[in-house]
Every structure is written in structure tokens, then in C-alpha cells.
Amino acid sequence: MNTVHVAVLGGSGYTAVELMKILLRHPQARIVAVTSRERQPVSDYHPSLYGRIDLQCEPFDPDLLQKQGVQVAFGCLPHGTSIEAVGPLIARGIRVVDLSADYRLRDPALYAEWYGETHHDKHNLSHAVYGLPELYADHIRTARLIANPGCYPQTAILGLAPLLQKGLIEPTGIIVDSKSGVSGAGRSLKLTTHYPECNENFSAYSVGKHRHAPEMEQILADAAGGPVQVLFTPHLVPMDRGIFSTIYATPTRPVAETELLAVLRQFYAGKPFVRVRDGLPATKDTAHTNFLDLTVRVVRGKVVVLAAEDNLVRGASGVAVQNFNIMHGFPETTALL
């Protein structure tokens, strides 16, 4: 069987360890390199991998990765750092699935506005493919650079795209009220994620200022065929993992739940990782899986979409492997069920 040699860039964080666990179960992937600023065994960063992976983290070196035969690199680096690694890899013929936000916004001006820095790799940006398989599988297949989608945006996009595409909801006045487990904030130490601060606590953050809002709007505009406007409010939930989004939209005409559910079901038929359910979703039903669960209600004249996913798997490392599978013609579900 064909085995693809892969590297994990930025091996010390939560998306990296989740990714490595999935890849270790993948019969056609072999992790041949893990990078990090510190030279130390991968299992020192992640004791859960003790005895399961025998690699030493090495500082990023594209020549070395090429010499090691890396065919695909998964970037688990922070935005701004990732952009430095992608160019050299693409130049060496290594395909990249970039889990950072550096190649998600197509318009460099939007990147500059929301990320506070000029985008200095416009060349690769121009051919990057937004890695949401349910919408862009055809482009993913042949992509050299995948911009792996953000965790929050996936819930909003997969919940709304079918309804916008059919013209069933207005493209303005959309509210995405999202709630995320704490692992979404990463492994860097911050007071807000210090246990006694966020445990037994619920709070909002970055109200109206979160960088995932323009990402949602960009992709939903594809579906709507015109501009979409989203008010996005993220919140922090005292749990490890999971995102739940409660999404409010205005129907363009009186519409029944059954019709909306049917539209969603039709759209996701044959797509193995989106489950349209009659009942209300819950993050725990999706925990440690690549499933995104959806349902829809009509209340007081509004359409209410409810979506749940695991932020580390579906929201990051699982969908990255789903993209990897599509890129190589492997069954889409390999290592993900």
C-alpha cells in the first residue's frame, strides 16, 4: 500500500497532539518529522504519546524535511509564523495543510485589517484552497496548499451555507452565538485559561472583534452568491473540548422546520461527517470525532440553526486529515471513524 510521508510542524500544541494521534492510526500515513523550537522527544511534550512515537522534535528546516522525504506537511504553527514556513515547503514540492489562519482570507487587505500585518506571501495565498471538504472537495483534491478552516467558522458555514444557497435566509442580520471549550484557546499560559479562573465560569470574549467573523462571511458569500454579514459572539465554556453554535437568521419567506431539515439533509447526503439530526445536538455526542451535528428550528419567525462539533478534531486536526485523504484519493473516512 502507498504510504505518504508526513511532517507535523509546531509539534508542542493541542492540535498537533490530536493530529499525531489520528495519523498514528492512519494506515497510509507515516510521521517522519515533527518540528518545534526545542529539540526534545515528542513524548516529553505529550506524555500521552509515551511509547507510541519515537521521534525527536527538531527546529523547522525545509531542506531537512525534503531530505527526509516529506510529501505533506501539516502546519500547527500560530498565524504569522506559519506563513514563514509555507513558502519554502511549497517551493520544494511539499504539499501543505496549514491549520493556521494565514491563508484563509483570500483578500490580503482583509488579512491586514484583522491580523494587523501585511500578508507577504500573496503568491501562495492566490492558489490556497479553503479546506472545507463539504464545500470544496474538488479543489482540495489537487491543491498544493490547503488553508484548513477555523473551528468556529465550520459550525456557522456548514449550518448556513445550504440555506443561503437556496435563498431561504437573508444574508444580513445573521447572529452566530458560539460557545467553545478551553482547548480552543491553545496551550500558551494565560490568566483567562488558568484553571481556577475559567473553571466554573462562563464568559464572553472578543465580542464583535473575533477574527473568525470575516472568515465566516467570506465563505458564506460563496454560498449566497453575494455579501453576507455576521455578528459573531464567542464564549468560553468550562470544558476541554467542543464548540456549540446557536445561529439566528431571518427567513426570506415563511418556512417550516421540515423544509429546512430536508434542505440540510439533501445537501449533506453522502457527506459522511455532517449529521443532520431531528433532536438537538450536544457537543459530547461529537467529542473526539470528526462529526459535525446539525439541526434547525423555527422560533418566533426566526430560523435557529444549532451546530456542535469537537473543536480539536472536526475543528482542526480531523478535518485536516479528511483533507489529506481527499488529496490522496484515500477513502474520506480513513483514520477518522
The per-residue b/e assignment along 129-168, b for 16 or more CB within 10 angstroms, e otherwise, is bbbbbbbbbeebeebbbbbbbbbbbbbbbbbbbbbbbeeb
Closest among 310, 322, 262, 290 to 136, alpha carbons compared: 322
The nearest distance, CB 175 to its own copies, in angstroms, is: 6
The nearest distance, CB 27 to its own copies, in angstroms, is: 10
Neighbours of 196 (CB within 10 A): 7
Nearer to its own copies, 51 or 329 (CB): 51
The nearest distance, CB 7 to its own copies, in angstroms, is: 21
Q: Does 3 bind its own copies (CB under 8 A)?
A: no
The nearest distance, CB 55 to its own copies, in angstroms, is: 16
Terminal C-alpha separation, the chain: 20
Report yes or no: 291 and 282 within 8 Å, Cβ to Cβ. no
Q: Does 51 bind its own copies (CB under 8 A)?
A: yes
Q: Does 37 bind its own copies (CB under 8 A)?
A: no
Q: What is the DSSP letter of 84?
A: H
CA atoms of 99 and 314, how far apart (whole Å):
12
- Annotation says 151 is catalytic: yes
Nearer to its own copies, 26 or 95 (CB): 26
> By CB neighbour count within 10 A (0-12 exposed, 13-18 middle, 19+ buried), where does 39 fall?
exposed
Report yes or no: 257 and 296 within 8 Å, Cβ to Cβ. yes
Q: Does 38 bind its own copies (CB under 8 A)?
A: no
User: What residues from 249 to 288 belong to the interface with its own copies (CB under 8 A)?
Assistant: 275, 277, 279-288
Residues interacting with its own copies, by CB under 8 A? 14, 24-25, 47-48, 50-52, 175, 177, 179, 181-183, 187, 189-191, 193-205, 207-208, 229-231, 233, 235, 237-242, 244, 246, 248, 275, 277, 279-289, 291, 293, 297, 299-300, 302, 304, 306, 308, 337
Which sequence positions are flagged as catalytic? 151
